[in-house]
A and B are shown apart, each in its own frame.
Chain A
């Protein structure tokens, strides 16, 4: 009987050698005349164990990791095809504590299924949400999403149902669903992982969004840095089209929805929704003033839903199991689950989907296991390059939109970057300004000029030129950027800068900055 072996196609896993491992297993199997089938699946998101391979046995799926090509020979010797003991043996995949502790609603099939097998997807309850949605009116679908409490997972946290309702009520011959997959925040990779590991859930979520709002065309705008995600999405869309899931007769309902993937070109600011729309239209990725809201005048000046990947991927489970089921997870006004991405200098880096409400300390120290370097954790940046640096004294902050806002931070796209005690927060503040200067679209002055002045000001502190006056100036500059910028790039760059200044003032003393500047 053919034995199924799973080796991730996930970019993170491939970056650690998964392709070579897959090749080595295939070659060794031929040599030993073993009947195997290698399935390239998504990652479960435990990157310290990648490349993590699994074997399907009568005892269930058993995992081995991290596996190097050099381990393959000994894995065969140890009888891994039957789940044999080996130094890389991890036991049942689902029993690995990091995975067992999670509540996987959005990522429920990621890693488990063959990403481009619609049969696998359906066999694991895929498309049930869409089937239910097809029996509902547009208003009922919107109500379910509104009642679930789902908020935009891209960072802004705007209620998804309310956005959908605006588009539903907008008049227009052609409406669009645009999926913002321009995941540029350092420390985040949830969008990439789900597009590579479970593309059908995004397709399903987008179709449901189309049914709810009357949009018949969808676009996924993603990054040129994500070639694998683009390939997997395109392949899955073809499969969905051939199976009548996409097209002009969705699951035989007579309803229409189709979609395309568009690739960005390395501009961080295109993650901002209006800049993204300009980019899709073939313009410079310059931010648009709001109003008009994209919901009313979005892509090609037509009513457009712009939602993050994870928001859209959370919709199928809401439609499958009901708004209440989803809403019952979480705390306060942050309902449901959030895929937290733990990255940087961390022992157990990866994706951890859980209900809102864990404290930052639990996430970093317990789930993440502290730093990879073994040194003490000094700071964590939450929410990407525009997120605040939190010191250990704020580790009791629960993971929740409002709780983070109360402490002058943001959860953003839920990425957490861990730094050990070798971090220089003045250097990080300088980088925040430098990054803003590199990526500014140039439309508004506080961002375009402010960021450049910000870098210069930090450099003056480093050189000891009136450091106290410069620190005051930096505060002032941050105020201007925060209140005067058109979008979150200039408006939120003050978060990392001010949090560094507030929580780590001891770093803002004259000293050399070891920088890799351009």
Chain B
């Protein structure tokens, strides 16, 4: 994967995504998801292309992309760790776990480590409430995450 993409590439690849999904009823969210899947985030230049393809204003597309927590405007770290902050996980020590992760990684929520290796994100419920506290590491779910387990995960993603 190249580190940077040219604006022409963004236009071409986003255009192709739009063409593939434009037939759906309400295609914008599926398009944004696929753009993020393609680039890891929503590149600035993508908004204009999507707007043109869907006959919307760029502001409307920006409004939608910025409304939803999932859509990123910056490239995330090589690994994304989401830790649940919701009540069921709180009851099993999620606050402490979150603080532990922040201390270890030296980041706050929604930040990426200086070496661009790990992005730490809060999530409000993964539906794993009976095996709390829960986390998602690069899309994989993990339950009953103790501090030790988290340290193990952090070691793995750092190696």
Binding site for A on B (CB under 8 A): 24-30, 32-33, 54, 63-64, 67-71, 84-92, 94-96, 98-99, 102, 108-110, 122-132, 134, 136, 139-144
Contact = CB atoms under 8 A, between A and B. Distances in A.
Contact of B99 (A47, A265, A516): A516
Given A189-B130, A225-B126, A266-B70, A417 B91 contact: yes
A260 B21 CA distance: 13
Contacts of A266: 68-70, 123
B94 to A, nearest CB: 8
B67 A284 contact: yes
5 contacts: A15-B143, A50-B131, A186-B87, A267-B67, A267-B69
Nearest to A517: B109
Interface of A: 11-12, 14-16, 45, 47-48, 50, 183-189, 191-192, 223-227, 260, 262-268, 279-286, 299-300, 341-346, 349-351, 372, 381, 385, 415, 417-420, 423, 428, 431, 435, 438-439, 441, 514-516, 518
A372 B128 contact: no
A416 B40 CA distance: 36
A47 B28 CA distance: 37
Given A224-B70, A518-B108, A187 B131 contact: no
A423 to B, nearest CB: 7
A281 B64 CA distance: 11
Most A C-beta atoms less than 10 A away, residue of B24, B68, B108: B68
Given A282-B28, A284-B63, A518-B109, A189 B71 contact: no
A186 B26 contact: no
Contacts of A183: 125, 127
A281 B130 contact: no
Given A15-B143, A281-B25, A343-B130, 10 more contacts: A15-B128, A15-B142, A16-B143, A225-B126, A225-B127, A264-B70, A267-B67, A343-B132, A385-B86, A385-B87
Contacts of B109: 518
Contacts of B71: 265
A392 B1 CA distance: 56
B67 A285 contact: yes
A16 B134 CA distance: 10
B26 A428 contact: no
Contact of A263 (B33, B87, B123): B33
A415 to B, nearest CB: 7
Contact of A225 (B25, B29, B125): B125
A285 B87 CA distance: 23
B30 A262 contact: yes
Given A284-B64, A341-B130, A265 B70 contact: yes
Contacts of B141: 11, 14-15
